[in-house]
Amino acid sequence: MTAKEVCKRVWELSEPFAREIGVTLWDVTFEKEGGQYMLTITIDRDGHTDIDDCEALSRAVDPLLDGREFASLPPYTLCVSSAGLTRRLKRPEHFAAFLGSEVEVRFYRPVNGSKLAVGRLCAYDDGRVTLEADGVETVYEPKDIAAVRLSVTI
């Protein structure tokens, strides 16, 4: 099973449990970090997500991951966490929910002399991100974008 297939299947298994406990799935990733694989289920809730939400989903999903369909996976650690204030925007619905919010766009290599752009999210279209900063709108192409996160200033 590829990492993409693992994520899709874990999403399918987790979604009913997430609904049952009153949270929404934000993301599922299966990545190698250092020498260890991490299966991370990220959740969100209107208001705030707490450790009890994470624990409840982890306890519900964990036994299902011991089934035969996941037996070929390398050893991994299951992590259920909150999307957090500086959540990563990846899916079209993430961008739609935060139009007008301040975001940080990180690039693989410098774009316009910088590896970071901060501004108000104006649009998202097929991977293209439009930011407004200092009265100027700029469109960034998907091939240049490493990550987009909500920006929080304290």
The three-state DSSP-derived secondary structure of the chain is CCHHHHHHHHHHHHHHHHHHHCCEEEEEEEEEECCEEEEEEEEECCCCCCHHHHHHHHHHHHHHHCCHHHCCCCCEEEEEEECCCCCECCCHHHHHHCCCCEEEEEEEEEECCEEEEEEEEEEEECCEEEEEECCEEEEECHHHEEEEEECCCC
Higher-confidence residue: 16 or 68?
16
Position 145 pLDDT exceeds 90:
yes
- Summarize the confidence of residues 63-84 as an average pLDDT: 91
Torsion of CA 105, 49, 91, 94, to 10 degrees: -70
Measured CA to CA, the distance from residue 105 to residue 149 in angstroms comes to 7
Position 154 pLDDT exceeds 80:
no
Position 48 pLDDT exceeds 90:
no
**Tokens in use for 76?**
């991994």
Position 47 pLDDT exceeds 80:
no
> What is the structure's pLDDT at 1?
83
Amino acid (one-letter) located at 24: T
> What is the structure's pLDDT at 152?
83
**Tokens in use for 93?**
């619905």
Q: Which residues of 51-62 are buried (b: 16+ CB within 10 A; e: fewer)?
A: eebbebbbebbe
- Summarize the confidence of residues 22-48 as an average pLDDT: 91
Position 17 pLDDT exceeds 90:
yes
- Summarize the confidence of residues 12-30 as an average pLDDT: 94
Q: pTM (2 decimals)?
A: 0.81
Position 85 pLDDT exceeds 90:
no
- Summarize the confidence of residues 38-56 as an average pLDDT: 91
